[in-house]
Amino acid sequence: MKKIAVLTSGGDAPGMNACIRAVVRTGIYHGLEVYGIMYGYDGMIKGEINLMESHAVSNIVQRGGTILKSARSVDFRTKEGRQKAYEQLKKHGIEGLVAIGGDGTFTGAKVFYEEFGIPTIGCPGTIDNDIYGTDFTIGFDTAINTALEAIDKIRDTAAAHDRIFFIEVMGRDSGYIAVECGLGGGAELVMVPETQTTLNEVVQKLTSSKSKTSSVIVVAEGDEEGNAAEIMEKVKNTINDDSKDFKVTTLGHIQRGGNPTGKDRMLASRCGMAAVEGLLNGQANCMAGIIHDEVVYTSFEDCITKNKPLNRDTLKLIEILSI
C-alpha cells in the first residue's frame, strides 16, 4: 500500500482535525502518500481529492470542525454514485481509506468495501458517544464540557429567580450527553431515549421537595415524551401553578463547536494512528477504537448493529444525588 485517503463525514465533532492530522502524519511517517477528500463521500464522487503534505495539517490539532469539510451525499447511497467514487479513487491510485464519522459514515464505508474491496478503517467521530467498539468517541468530551458550561450559567439564573429550567441537549437516539451533563451539572432529573420517564415522574420530582425553589431538568432531544419545549408545556399544564416559573433552553449546535479538550485530542490522535497502521497490517472494513486504554478493531457490522448501552449506575447516581 502506497497511497491512502482520509475523509470526514456526517456531523462534525471537535477533535476531527486532530484525527486528520494523525492520519496524515502517521501515513507520511510510514512512507505513504496521503490524500484528503473534501466534503466526505460527496467529494469522493466529484473527485475533490488533494495530496496532503505534513505542513497541510500544521496548527489544526486545537481547532474544532474539520478542515476537510463534511456533507451529506444522496448520490453515494446509489450504486451509480459509489461507482463514480471508486473510479475517482482508482484515478488517484488510492488503495486504502480512513473514514472519520459515526454510524452513517461506517454504513457507507461498509457497503463501499463490500462492492469494491478498497480497505477502509473508521475512526469514531461523533459527539453522541453511541458507537459500539470504543469507550469514547471523538468530540464527546468536548461536547460535555461545552454543555456543562452553559448549564452552570443557567443554574445561576434559575436559582436567582426560583425558576424551573428544561435544558435540551443533543442526542436523537442516545442519552450519553444528557446523562453526563445531568450528573456533572447537578440536574434534578435526566430524560433520555433509552429509559422511560413519564410526565407523572417529572411532576412528582418537581413538587415533592418544598425546600427546592429552582430545578434543572436535562432532556435529550430524542426523548420519547418529546423535546424540551413540548415536555415543559405538558408539565406546566399538569402542575397548573402560576407561582412556578418555567423556562426552556435548547443548547443546539453550540455542542458541536469549539476547541477540542485534551482528552479528545489524545483520543483522536490515537485512533488516527491506529487506523493507518491497521491498514498497513491488513485490517479492513472495521473501526479503530479505544477500550480500556487499548486499541481495538471492531467490524463495521458490529459498530452499526450492536447497541452501546448507557451505564445504569450513572442514572441511579443522578437519582440519589438529586434528592
Would you tell me how many other CB atoms lie within 10 Å of the CB of residue 304? 18
What one-character-per-residue DSSP string does 204-236 give? HHHHH-SS---EEEEEETT-TT--HHHHHHHHH
- The three-state DSSP-derived secondary structure of 232-297 is HHHHHHHHCCCCCEEEEEECHHHHHCCCCCHHHHHHHHHHHHHHHHHHHCCCCCEEEEEECCEEEE
Could you tell me where the beta strands, DSSP code E, fall in 63-180? 96-101, 120-124, 163-169
d(CA 164, CA 211): 14
Helix (H, G, I), strand (E, B) or coil at 83: helix
How many whole angstroms from its chain centre is CA 170?
9
Active site residues: 128
d(CA 229, CA 206): 16
Would you tell me how many other CB atoms lie within 10 Å of the CB of residue 109? 28
Instruction: Return the residue matching grid coordinates 415524551.
Output: 225
d(CA 222, CA 73): 24
Who's near 148: CB < 8 A, 6+ residues apart? 181, 184, 185
CB 318 within 8 A of CB 190: yes
d(CA 106, CA 122): 7
DSSP bridge pairs for 250: 168
Rg of the chain over all Cα atoms, to the nearest angstrom: 22
